[in-house]
Amino acid sequence: MGVATNGSSSAAEPAQALKFLIYGRTGWIGGLLGQLCAARGIPFAYGAGRLENRTQLEADIDEVAPTHVFNAAGVTGRPNVDWCETHRTETIRANVCGTLTLADVCRGRGLVLINYATGCIFEYDAGHQLGSGVGFKEEDTPNFVGSFYSKTKAMVEELLKNYKNVCTLRVRMPISSDLSNPRNFITKISRYDKVVDIPNSMTILDELLPISIEMAKRNLTGIWNFTNPGVVSHNEILEMYRDYIDPNFSWKNFTLEEQAKVIVAPRSNNELDCTKLKTEFPELLSIKDSLIKYVFKPNQKTSKA
Q: What's the pTM value of the predicted model, to 2 decimals?
A: 0.92
Using one digit for the tens of pLDDT, what is the confidence trace for 30-43? 999 999 999 999 99
Using one digit for the tens of pLDDT, what is the confidence trace for 49-67? 999 999 999 999 999 999 9
Bridge partners (DSSP) of residue 20 are 44, 68
What DSSP string runs through 12-62?
T--GGG--EEEE-TTSHHHHHHHHHHHHHT--EEE--S-TT-HHHHHHHHH
Confidence class for position 14, pLDDT limits 50, 70, 90: low
pLDDT surpassing 90 at residue 192: no
pLDDT for the residue numbered 265: 61
pLDDT surpassing 50 at residue 229: yes
List of domains in the chain: 20-175+203-229+272-290 (3.40.50.720)
- Cα–Cα distance for residue pair 209/207, rounded to 1 Å: 6
Using one digit for the tens of pLDDT, what is the confidence trace for 205-217? 999 999 999 999 9
pLDDT surpassing 60 at residue 4: no
pLDDT surpassing 50 at residue 1: no
The amino acid at residue 146 is G
Q: State the average pLDDT over residues 165-182.
A: 96
Confidence class for position 266, pLDDT limits 50, 70, 90: low
pLDDT surpassing 90 at residue 113: yes
Whether the Cβ atoms of residue 73 and residue 94 lie closer than 8 Å to each other: yes
